């Protein structure tokens, strides 16, 4: 199994939930800090993911907020998984902070749902396609392209682990299959890869036909990350930054959009046929 522990991502997940619980009951940082015997600033640091709260501090805060026992047990268990090492350490100098958080969360997620209207998601790209999609980008320094591509290849290992594989639902526009990134040979290998991945039990690649016209994803790409022991998180990327959607109502709206897109996408067998048709045309 690929080890995907990332302490900064764990801290962030726990902090989001502590913040949301406090906000729901209208408590102040000062009152919360008094309850567990620390400073308001420290509780704020917990909520921002800057420090790991101890399991007893989590229990004290959630008890003060009136959270159910299963929430206390769940978040305390998450905190118990803290570790000082991170598999992302060797890429620290090439990953911007806003992206590092996402990659760390992806490594902890149980299910990723992603809608990509313009390019294939990183988790299904071949190395050549990834190079073709990244080289020449104004957002990536030329000397960092190869290392960023290697990070994408490493992220993909979670799709193939024997235990705890990442479930992936990739909703892609039909036009993405026709965009010749990297040239004909690269696209042939990439389409082959999509067919191979579609055969995995934990991977679902669904194609949205161009003939569908208007649908709920036209506002742009988004991702929803689901976790076994934490609340789901939405993610929307823009040039040189990203928005992390933490409010459960807003996250639910993105999940609803994903279900709407699934309803108009080709089912998995027909999606594979659409991919294979392009592959046949290239060969």
Strands (E), 94-221: 111-116, 167-173, 203-208
The residue-averaged pLDDT of 184-188 equals: 95
Question: What is the rounded average pLDDT for all residues in the chain?
Answer: 90
Percent of the chain residues past pLDDT 90, beyond the cut: 66
- Give the whole-angstrom CA distance, residue 115 versus residue 218: 10
What are the boundaries of each domain within the chain?
Answer: 7-79, 91-282
Q: Pick the residue with more confidence: 79 or 248?
A: 248
Name the helix (H) or strand (E) containing 222: strand 222-226
93-103 residue pLDDT tens = 888 888 888 99
Per-residue pLDDT, 118: 93
The residue-averaged pLDDT of 257-279 equals: 96
Matching fold, domains 7-79 and 91-282: no
Per-residue pLDDT, 79: 74
Per-residue pLDDT, 131: 94
Domain boundaries 7-79, CATH class: mainly alpha
4-13, 111-120, 167-176, 199-208: segment of lowest average pLDDT: 4-13
- Give the whole-angstrom CA distance, residue 214 versus residue 100: 33
Question: Residue 172: is its pLDDT beyond 90?
Answer: yes
40-62 residue pLDDT tens = 999 999 999 888 888 889 999 99
Domain boundaries 91-282, CATH class: alpha beta
- Quick one: which of 199, 27, 177, 4 has its CA closest to 86? 4
CB 112 within 8 A of CB 240: no
Question: Residue 177: is its pLDDT beyond 80?
Answer: yes
Collapsing DSSP states into helix, strand and coil, what is residue 215? coil
Q: Pick the residue with more confidence: 97 or 187?
A: 187
Per-residue pLDDT, 84: 58
CB 124 within 8 A of CB 194: yes
Confidence tier at 3 by pLDDT (50, 70, 90): low
Question: Residue 1: is its pLDDT beyond 50?
Answer: no
- The pTM (predicted TM-score) of the whole model is 0.84
66-94 residue pLDDT tens = 988 888 888 887 776 665 567 887 888 88
Burial class (CB in 10 A: 0-12, 13-18, 19+), 184: exposed
How far are the Cα atoms of 59, 79, 95, 169 from residue 155, in angstroms, in the given order?
A: 33, 23, 13, 15
């Amino acid at each position: 199994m690929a080890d995907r522990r990332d302490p900064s991502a764990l801290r962030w997940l726990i902090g989001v939930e502590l913040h949301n619980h406090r906000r729901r009951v209208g408590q102040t940082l000062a009152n919360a800090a008094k309850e567990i015997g620390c400073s308001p600033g420290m509780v704020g640091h917990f909520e921002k993911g800057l420090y790991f709260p101890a399991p007893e501090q989590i229990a004290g805060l959630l008890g003060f907020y009136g959270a159910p026992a299963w929430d206390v047990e769940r978040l305390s268990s998450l905190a118990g998984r803290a570790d000082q090492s991170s598999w992302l350490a060797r890429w620290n100098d090439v990953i911007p902070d806003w992206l590092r958080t996402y990659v760390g969360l992806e490594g902890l997620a149980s299910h990723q749902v992603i809608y990509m209207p313009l390019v294939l998601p990183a988790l299904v790209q071949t190395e050549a396609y990834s190079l073709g999609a990244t080289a020449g980008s104004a957002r990536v320094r030329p000397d960092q392209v190869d290392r960023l591509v290697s990070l994408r290849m490493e992220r993909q290992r979670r799709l193939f682990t024997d235990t705890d594989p990442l479930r992936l639902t990739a909703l892609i526009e039909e036009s993405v299959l026709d965009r010749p990134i990297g040239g004909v040979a690269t696209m042939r290998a990439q389409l082959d890869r999509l067919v191979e991945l579609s055969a995995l039990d934990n991977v679902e690649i669904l194609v949205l036909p161009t003939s569908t016209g208007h649908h709920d994803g036209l506002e742009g790409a988004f991702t929803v990350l689901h976790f076994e022991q934490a609340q789901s998180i939405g993610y929307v990327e823009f040039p040189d930054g990203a928005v992390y959607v933490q409010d459960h109502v807003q996250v639910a709206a993105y999940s609803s959009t994903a279900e709407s897109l699934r309803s108009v996408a080709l089912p998995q067998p027909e999606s594979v046929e659409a991919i294979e048709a392009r592959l046949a045309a290239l060969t």
